Amino acid sequence: MKKIITSLCALIAVSAVAQNNGGIDAAMMEQIRSGYKGTAAEVAVKNALTTVPISTLAINGDNLAMCDTHFSHRVKTKGITDQKSSGRCWLFTGLNVLRAKMIVKHDLNGFEFSQNYLSFYDLLEKSNLFLQGIIDTRNLPLDDRKVEWLLKNPIGDGGQFTGVSNLIMKYGAVPSSAMPETYQSNNTRDMRMILSLKLREYALTLREAKKQELTTLKTSMLTEVYGILVKCLGVPPQEFVWTRYNSKGEKVSTQSYTPQSFYKEFVGEDLEKNYVMIMNDPTREYGKVYEIDYDRHIYDGENWLYINLPIERIKEIAIASIKDNTAMYFSCDVGKFFDRKKGVLDVANLDYDSLFDTKFGMNKQQRVQTFASGSSHAMTLIAVDIDNEGKTTKWMVENSWGASSGYKGNLIMTDEWFDEYMFRLVAEREYVPADVLKMLEQKPIMLPAWDPMFAPEE
């Protein structure tokens, strides 16, 4: 009888909650408060949380040991780069992929491309992309979603692999000595703010200008942007002298190059035709090709276009590339379950469920749909560990946060973490199966620029 009365009371309480006007009324508040019992365990957690970071208290004590750092297959690389306080991970990653190939191909002791050189043209091209976008939409109202998106995102230093391919194929590349980093290239926040402010001002001018004035006005605006970039980043070289040394430190040659001739001689591949972009997006149908509007760096360049594949097909491609000593552009949601001290990404690193006595139960698809997860950072995929039974156990990426971060400048991720938080991979065509390449014959499905999966990688 006691059980029946208790159940009836609960039913009445729920009914009362259901009948309110959507706010928290007194009956609901009483029910909510009753959920916290003030047990000894709850008080202990409350006391700890008032003085200690959640990320510290959530550490899983059963997972403190460093994971095994042996990898059955690893790409040969030399050196670790550092993007400092900038959002250029996409650029560092793309150039690190090319750098690894160049070092092996030309027997170099080490090498680094100038990220600053391509950053300069990236920001100039993005300025033109924005201004031309404003011209193209000038007849739409200011509150149109595309116009609103443009004004909210005039420029940034984040991006993705098509930025690497389009910029290099148009402007070439230079060694770091030809255009070294500056304070502003390493610390981009203030420069981005100045450029964004100026571009938004230009947008209003272009929307009000006469049609015949638009090209002249845009050219004048880009000239002023160029001047700002020169003051912040320096003048991009049109010609430079570079001395090449082999892996023994012996001088091989000293020659004069242009950015285009340097890239042609030391890399030489067509980045726009040789690479395939792949995605694991569980919110959309696999086996389809998708394109993202305005997700590019150059107005007359390529939008991000990718084949959506199940995670196991992506692993198949990644393993084939690594086994052939070829690194890949890779991106993921790097902040999730990340042990920065060890440089390990593992879903067992943190135990939020036990700390808060609740279950965090969303899967990958649900996290993407609710904006809880998405690709945030690009790195260079360089290693995989496969056990004696042929099972993949862990992966390693070369990061661009300096040699002292993570595990010797790298990050190690468990295979389970890879499944849950890996999103993008760019591989050379020779490692992509024929049935996947055939998917590129499809007409791409166009997605809007504000799609939740496509924030720039930084």
Helix (H) or strand (E) holding 118: helix 115-136
- Return the DSSP state at 268: -
Give the integer Cα–Cα distance in Å for 396 and 410: 7
DSSP per-residue string spanning 297-348: SSTTS---EEEE--HHHHHHHHHHHHHTT--EEEEE-TTTTEETTTTEE-TT
**Which residue among 67, 116, 349, 377 is the active-site one?**
377
Give the integer Cα–Cα distance in Å for 411 and 439: 32
**Which residue among 89, 96, 128, 232 is the active-site one?**
89
**Which residue among 153, 308, 349, 399 is the active-site one?**
399
Give the integer Cα–Cα distance in Å for 185 and 123: 11
Q: Is the dihedral of CA 24, 25, 31, 36 positive or negative?
A: positive
- Is 399 part of the annotated catalytic residue set? yes
Long-range contacts, stretch 200-203, CB < 8 angstroms, 24+ apart: 200/151, 200/154, 202/131, 202/134, 203/130, 203/131, 203/134, 203/150, 203/151, 203/154
Judge residue 61's burial from the number of C-beta atoms within 10 Å of its C-beta, 0-12 exposed, 13-18 middle, 19 or more buried. exposed
- Half-sphere CA count of 157, side-chain side, radius 13 A: 28
CB 239 within 8 A of CB 257: yes
Instruction: Provide the token pair at 279.
Output: 């995605």
- Is 47 part of the annotated catalytic residue set? no
> Helix axis angle, 115-136 relative to 89-105, nearest 10°?
140
Task: Determine the residue type at 134.
Answer: I
DSSP per-residue string spanning 175-199: BGGGS---HHHHB-HHHHHHHHHHH
CB 159 within 8 A of CB 57: no
- Return the DSSP state at 291: E
Enzyme catalytic residues: 89, 377, 399
